[in-house]
Structure 1
Amino acid sequence: MQCLAVFALIMPGLIAAAEPPPKIPLRDFFKNPLSSSYLLSPDGNTLSYLAPWETRMNIFIRPTAGGEAKRITSDKERDIRDYFWKGNQFVVYAQDNKGDENFHLFRIDLKTGEVKDLTPFPKVRAELVDDLEDISEHEIVMMMNKRNAEAFDAYRLNVATGEMKMTAKNPGRVDHWVTDHKGRILAATESDGVNATLLTRPDEKAPFKKVLSTNFRERVTPEFYTFDNKEIYATSNIGRDKVA
């Protein structure tokens, strides 16, 4: 009982003497990280990453063998969020103009330092479909709404020369393009806002044909082709309560 009494007398003093935990400034929850999004060049000789410069996230590179880092972009208006290597000479990233959400694809030539807008069209949004990492040294597949503001066509784009060629014309409601392991656009999904349809074709010269349609309660999302390019892996919630 004496021990309990002493403990009861000591505890209030300890509680009163305890300091409250330090407050975390609100800005700390939203500030940029010191570095992020690390990638290796295809030959493994160069490491790239995002880091703040002038309060905005920009792309830096440095040799994997050691040495000083070098900033290769100088964006002061908006953070760069997504980028990828295209061969060992080029880095490609997406950026819009002061928050207008019309993202363009930009290419950095690491030999010359040149930054080039690969989709320099006003009021046009471009998005990557496939970087063709194991297929082409310089080409990628992207989509943009240059022809029709409400429809995204698919293009094959050479990041070295800037040359592009339409490989799939959007009939009006396609919202997702799928490439096979040769980089060909052979599948797509279209939606009217309620129902969705999966489309496929045997080659890029053939028209798309409807494979199946789903309502707003169901979902079938094509993910990628099998390695023989004959079938498609897809996720779906048909017949179950979760997508798998």
Structure 2
Amino acid sequence: MCRPDHFTVSYRINPWMRPDQPTDNALALRQWSNLHAAYRDLGFDVRLIDPLPGLPDMVYAANGGTVVDGIALTARFRYAERAAEGPAYAAWFRAAGLAVHEADAVNEGEGDLLLVGDTIYAGSGFRTDPAAHAEAARVLGREVVGLRLVDPRYYHLDTAFAVLDPAGGPGSVAYLPAAFDDASQEELRFRFPDAVIVSEEDAAVLGLNCFSDGHTVVHAPQAEKFAADLAERGFGTVGVDTGELRRGGGGIKCCTLELREAP
């Protein structure tokens, strides 16, 4: 995770961002601190990267890269405003002892590359280049299934698709069908016939931008129907409001990069 010490909305690279509306940095920091505390209370090992001045989106740690079995595929950002985040996270990965692979194709880390079981589901359409899918398969040694996003509000896969059970299975994810093209919807129905289908209302508060360890889901409290569906399926639920950070286009999962170390 990365503290939002420099968080603000000073440019617009997604529909959520409104530079004309001032952000409340103190509120963003309190909300982030609540998320950090929730993770610690759940027993997670939370490590921090130092925030850098001039990189207001660095708080969205999920975009910093993708780590599988101790291999870190670095991010290459589409927009110049975020380009320096890639090297910053790469340096942190090296210092942490991970095997670092510098990406050739544009990819925005776990924003668009999500592991379910032994398969990586990879978004494209707005940020990550489809060429990055083949690179991820080669570097990380996993099957990669491409999913095309068509709604600009859900510009990263992790805003429209949530991993509920990292082990995989027919009901191990949740998603918003309308965020995907027809072929991707068909693929999702085939692979996850028992998925949680999330409403437009819950997706619009970035309810799908949640984090789960397979037992407990940390989610936006505004996504009430989604939380009820999760509880009905036996998941524990913890609501943490990150509404101020949502103004930059990110929520709980965006603030969370999973470090899957070598077995």
- Place the TM-score, normalised by the shorter chain, in its bin: 0.3 to 0.5
TM-score (norm 1): 0.36
Structure (1 or 2) with the greater strand fraction: 1
